[in-house]
Amino acid sequence: MQSHQQFAGSGRAVYIVDGARTPLLKARGRPGPFRASDLALQAARPLLLRQPFSADELDEVITGCVMSGPDEANISRVIALRLGIGEKVPAFTVQRNCASGMQALDTAARNIALGRSDLVLAGGTEAMSHAPVLLAEPLVHWLADWGRARSPGQRLQALARLRPRHLKPVIGLLLGLTDPVVGLSMGQTAEVLAYRFDIDRETMDRFALRSHQRLARAQDQGHFGAEMTVIYDHAGHWYDHDDGLRRDTTLEKLATLKPVFDRPFGKVTAGNSAQITDGAAFLILASADAVRRYDLPVLGRLLDSQWAGLDPAQMGLGPVHAMAPLLHRHGLDSPDIDYWEINEAFAAQVLACLRAWQNPDYCREQLGLERAFTPIDEDRLNVDGGGVSMGHPVGCSGARIVLHLLQVLRREGGRRGVASLCIGGGQGGAVMVESTGEVA
Amino acid sequence: MNAPNGNGHWRLDTDADGIAWLALDRQGEATNVLSRSVLEELENHLAALAEDRPTGLVFLSAKPNGFLAGADITEFTRIRTEREALELIRRGQDVMTRIASLPFPTLAMIHGFCVGGGLELALACDYRVARDDPSTRLGLPEVRLGIHPGFGGTVRLPPLVGGIQALDLILSGRTLDARRARRIGLVDHAVPERHLRAAARHLILHRPPRHRPDWRGRLSNWAPVRPLVASLSRRRLAARVSARHYPAPYAALDLWRRLADRPAAMMQAEAASVARLVTGESSRNLVRAFFLNERMKGLGKADRFEGRHVHLVGAGVMGGDIAAWCALRGFFVTLQDQSPERIAPALQRAHRLFQRRLRVPRRVQEAMDRLLPDPEAAFVHRADLVIEAIFEDREAKQALYRELEPRMKPEAILATNTSSIPLQELAPALARPERLVGLHFFNPVAKMQLVEIVCGPDTAEETQALARAFTRRIDRLPLPVSSSPGFLVNRVLMPYLLEAVELESEGVPAPAIDRAATDFGMPMGPIELADTVGLDVCLHVARILGEELGTEVPERLQRLVEQGHLGRKSGAGFYHYRKGRPVKPRQRAVTATDLQDRMILRLLNEAVACLREGVVADADLLDGGMIFGTGFAPFRGGPMHYITQRGAEPLRLRLQELTRSYGSRFTPDPGWETLIAGQNRQEEETPGAH
């Protein structure tokens, strides 16, 4: 019985006390109003302020972030100090690409399980619209020469060597979304999966449409009220909803979009991929001791987590590789899980996961399982929309889906849930949570 | 080592390199000023040092708060005659000249404030280094006291930083931080504490040439160019202050224009000019205003208020701006209103304020990080002070208090920014009315220094003290007032505004009315002021005061509000506004009789009534309140002081005349009796005083 309360089968139990996130703001071709640390602050500040403990009683702050700004080195510490948590609370940043936010939760949970921490602020933040635009390397060399040129003659010579191609900027975001080992863009890995599992364009577009419809319904019913904080910029604007939603989208409109990654014959379009988005989500994790000491409310328990690696060219199947051992270890099958959040990096990628999950050959050959899992009930998967409709701020999503999963479980009266993401570079991550209101 | 024969204000140490470090540590005071005894002792030191011939001499301060705050202003008030003044000034000038002529390098090592005579001492040195941190301020703010630099500052500054920069500093009286001082050459180095001594030592030991201004600065000092620069400066000055009310900057400008290339003559003229100014009416009253300011500062002990978190309810212009001001001054602030769309504009204004005040992006961010929107009032329970600034409605405020009070920390204070509702009408909504106090701010919050501390009959002494302390923490001036209608400032101002409105409806052109008031020395005419405050707000206050005090609300005001002409904010009121500025039609000369007296005397009459009723504790606080709350002509020393100077008796007679001509609203308040009796008594006691 005792082992049932433990995190990952050993160590102390880990509780999720509370959480908050910003609205996800779609990148509109230029830097958005918030940097990554600004977003984190807007999510975490009200979260901390509504707790019964004072912020300096936290043991540590762990933040997932893929591309913090050049002026935000170890962004977790920047956030902690800007939050006024106090200089004595240490903070560090974790990076596992698209699952950085989930990595932060997992690391926090492990430290609590080990007894090293009792109270941790953990989450993720990403301002993808602020991804740096870099100078091409030849231009950097040229600038070095220019710096050394002293006399007018030398300067003239240096100027004569400058070519228009030197001035072409390097878009950091595109580099970040391209696998550095296999050389495929993330969209191309989705094309690989679409080909392998024979997923046609219409099925992808249907999935995308459903994601928007679900998000629209969830917004209308106020399902994000409990997790979202309104955020404000300096120019008199405020943001209170995920603004990537297209209420007017239809299958016909989605069908008109051109493929963006494999032109001209590909199937993955901007319409059936996750949006480039800014956002942050933070949670407070606590040991049973801390819950009792501060009489904290409990949202749920973090039961277990799993990381897995696979072929980078098929990184979209990461969730299958992470969820399979997780469920297997606990002797569970799909029907034992009440709700699922599988991050929608691409419609094709989630659809491929669903197919692989129930495919005996795939489960046997790739996962070493005797038989396939029962199909996941799509009515219990991403019930309020996902990355395709609300966006995927890479560092944030892992924390966001865990927070939202707990909200869904509570709302629908479910007990157990699994949240999972695919990770650029060929990995998958998954956590299992349980909705509970109290410390066992 | 010790002072040759002083009483120990200065401390001299000589180091291994033979550099003499002369530290000022004024006995028995927290702040260094150039008092008579400090100067005397310095003279002795200089005489001894001239004999000893050290490698160099460094002036520094042993006080943590700053280098040297300038002349001792209390000594100003004791000066009776121009001759006495001249003697004092010449003596100060002589000390500075002796420093300047020492045969070894001299340097001022500056931290904190270095203003007025303090900067003039630094200017007499060959070099200056300043500690680069936010507390360091350098400047020549003499004009704010109605004089200009008198210890050689007007002579030594222009050749150092150039005519344009020098005039800017002397005429505006503004102060610079270390970096800006470095940029214009006022100091040679602006370095952090850890390099301050090294920088001083380096300059003394290496003796680089003294700083010279760039070509523009040198050009502006050149005789053929000076008249042009001077006339431009004069025009800019005239847009700000009148030569009749504030002669000091005009005198300084004149000195520079005439004598900038004849230092010896300029030094003499400087002394004569300051001697004349310091004994003049304008300076006396500005010095008075300075001491009123000091007294009001002393009404609250900033460190008594230990809270960190202020919760503001109401993100309108007042509430939002109070929130921003508190965040700027270091408080953590949560800002509550009914919806994000009400809060968002307040954050935008806050950001603009922070950018203007703090400039450095990192510090702007810090301030923004301290200001947190709270539309759900989720953080009231953490606040040490809750300030309510919602619309003026008794029921709404009471309902809000009932909601807030149970959620507040037991020791937290509840303050209302109401401008018209007496506290005793709000207190019944509270279980603990002793914690309710009024903090009445003025618009614009970032500019207006005064905060009326409104104490109702239930307000506990402790609550009042904490409210005053808080006011000091945010660097505002507390003025305790009783909870009577309109408190002090609005009540005294309202008859003056209403009389102006009355004049306007009689057909006197608005610009002429405003002109009469600014001629008196008001910073803005009453008609423009009404437009700026908002005619709806004026009407509201006028109605409430009218009910309580039996004054009439002019029909013209009601009609304008009904038509939606609310003043500046709606684009039209009494004036039409283009880009936020009133369009004042060119007017022919208007000769309306009694124009100025009708407005000013109603103001004075109300002031007398307030004093009689005990709205404020005494006449000086009343003057301070009106000067810092409304900008009431500071060179006139405040309304009560003005009454004393013009004589209570003739003013009452004038009121009686006006009553006969214009009606009962001019009926002199019974309080005049007491004033007249008091003045008569004083005259008997001190024969010769006017």
Closest CA relative to residue A182, chosen from A397, A375, A425:
A425
A30 in contact with B, Cβ within 8 Å: no
Are B369 and A230 within 8 A, CB to CB?
Answer: no
Determine the Cα–Cα distance for residues A400 and A101; give it in Å rounded to an integer: 8
CB-closest option in A41, A230, A237 to B369? A41
Are B365 and A82 within 8 A, CB to CB?
Answer: yes
Convert the pLDDT of each residue in B407-437 to its tens digit: 999 999 999 999 888 899 999 999 999 999 9
Q: Which of B9, B311, B440, B565 does the annotation list as catalytic?
A: B440
Q: Is residue A124, in this structure, part of any structural domain at all?
A: no
- Secondary structure element (H or E) that encloses residue A19, with its range: strand A14-21
With a cut of 70, list the residues of chain B below it in pLDDT: 1-7, 587-592, 686-690
Query: What is the DSSP track for A115-154?
Result: TS-SEEEEEEEEEGGGPPEE--HHHHHHHHHHHH--SHHH
CB-closest option in B345, B348, B379 to A49? B379
Nearest-Cα residue of chain A relative to residue B381: A50
Terminal Cα-to-Cα distance of chain B (whole angstroms)? 52
Q: Is residue A140, in this structure, part of any structural domain at all?
A: yes
The residues pairing with B60 across neighbouring beta strands, listed in sequence order, are B23
Are B382 and A45 within 8 A, CB to CB?
Answer: no
A49 in contact with B, Cβ within 8 Å: yes
Please state the pTM of the whole predicted model.
0.92
Q: Is residue B303, in this structure, part of any structural domain at all?
A: no
What is the model's pLDDT at position B2? 43
Are A234 and B378 within 8 A, CB to CB?
Answer: no
Which chain A residues are closer than 8 Å to B375 by Cβ?
230
CB-closest option in B341, B348, B369 to A235? B348
Is residue B440 part of the annotated active site? The answer reads yes
Q: How far does the CA of residue B342 sit from the closest CA of chain A (Å)?
A: 10
Determine the Cα–Cα distance for residues A267 and A198; give it in Å rounded to an integer: 11
What is the model's pLDDT at position A3? 43
- Residue A134: φ, ψ to 5°: -105, 160
Convert the pLDDT of each residue in B50-92 to its tens digit: 999 999 999 999 999 999 999 888 888 889 999 999 999 999 9
Sheet with B10-14, strands from edge to edge, namely: B10-14, B19-24, B56-61, B106-110, B127-131, B189-191
- Looking at the structure of chain A, the number of domains it has is 1
Which chain B residues are closer than 8 Å to A41 by Cβ?
369
Q: Is residue B576, in this structure, part of any structural domain at all?
A: yes
Convert the pLDDT of each residue in A212-255 to its tens digit: 999 999 999 999 999 999 999 999 999 999 999 999 999 999 99
What is the model's pLDDT at position B687? 56
Nearest-Cα residue of chain B relative to residue A235: B348
CB-closest option in A84, A234, A236 to B368? A234
Provide the CB-side half-sphere exposure for A291 (13 A, CA).
23
Is residue B59 a contact partner of residue B122, using CB atoms and an 8 Å limit? yes
What is the model's pLDDT at position B679? 84
- Secondary structure element (H or E) that encloses residue A62, with its range: strand A60-64
A-interface mutation test, from B332, B360, B365, B380, most A Cβ less than 10 A away:
B365
What is the model's pLDDT at position B588? 64
The four Cα atoms B221, B225, B231, B235 give a dihedral, to 10 degrees, of -70
Determine the Cα–Cα distance for residues B172 and A199; give it in Å rounded to an integer: 75
Convert the pLDDT of each residue in B44-57 to its tens digit: 999 999 999 999 99
CATH number at B229 reads 3.90.226.10
Q: Is residue A157, in this structure, part of any structural domain at all?
A: yes
Residue where a domain terminates, one of B279, B310, B337:
B279
pLDDT band at A385 (very low <50, low <70, confident <90, very high): very high
C-alpha separations of A339 from A124, A283, A382, A411 in Å: 22, 19, 8, 11
What is the model's pLDDT at position A202? 97
Q: Is residue A43, in this structure, part of any structural domain at all?
A: no
Q: ipTM score of the complex?
A: 0.91
What is the model's pLDDT at position A258? 96
Q: Which of A130, A392, A396, A404 does the annotation list as catalytic?
A: A392
Are B372 and A45 within 8 A, CB to CB?
Answer: yes
Those of residues 326-365 in B touching chain A at CB distance below 8 A are 332, 334, 340-341, 343-345, 347-348, 351, 365
Which chain B residues are closer than 8 Å to A236 by Cβ?
344-345, 347-348
Q: Is residue B307, in this structure, part of any structural domain at all?
A: no
A53 in contact with B, Cβ within 8 Å: no
Which residues constitute the domain of residue B669?
490-614+647-682
Those of residues 195-254 in A touching chain B at CB distance below 8 A are 230, 232-238, 240
Can you state the angle between helices B639-646 and B648-662, rounded to 10 degrees?
100
B-interface mutation test, from A238, A239, A241, most B Cβ less than 10 A away:
A238
Both tokens of B288, joined, read 């008075």
Is residue A422 part of the annotated active site? The answer reads yes
Which residues constitute the domain of residue A162?
133-172
Determine the Cα–Cα distance for residues B12 and B8; give it in Å rounded to an integer: 10
- Looking at the structure of chain B, the number of domains it has is 2
Is residue B414 a contact partner of residue B435, using CB atoms and an 8 Å limit? yes
Q: Is residue B119, in this structure, part of any structural domain at all?
A: yes
What is the model's pLDDT at position A1? 37
| A138-162 average pLDDT score | 90
Q: Is residue B604, in this structure, part of any structural domain at all?
A: yes
Which chain A residues are closer than 8 Å to B361 by Cβ?
none
Determine the Cα–Cα distance for residues B398 and B422; give it in Å rounded to an integer: 12
Q: Is residue A149, in this structure, part of any structural domain at all?
A: yes
CATH number at B596 reads 1.10.1040.50
Q: Is residue B594, in this structure, part of any structural domain at all?
A: yes
Both tokens of B605, joined, read 């009459």
- Going by their DSSP bridges, the two strands A25-26 and A277-286 should be labelled as antiparallel
Nearest-Cα residue of chain A relative to residue B355: A234
Helices assigned H by DSSP within A238-317: 251-256, 288-294
What is the model's pLDDT at position A134? 86
- Chains A, B: CB contacts under 8 A, how many? 46
Those of residues 344-373 in A touching chain B at CB distance below 8 A are none
Is residue B267 a contact partner of residue B154, using CB atoms and an 8 Å limit? no
What is the model's pLDDT at position A4? 56
pLDDT band at A424 (very low <50, low <70, confident <90, very high): very high
Secondary structure (3-state) at A379? helix
Residue where a domain terminates, one of B246, B279, B312:
B279
Can you state the angle between helices B263-278 and B281-297, rounded to 10 degrees?
70
Convert the pLDDT of each residue in B587-633 to its tens digit: 666 666 789 999 999 999 999 999 999 999 999 999 999 999 988 98
- Going by their DSSP bridges, the two strands A238-239 and A231-232 should be labelled as antiparallel
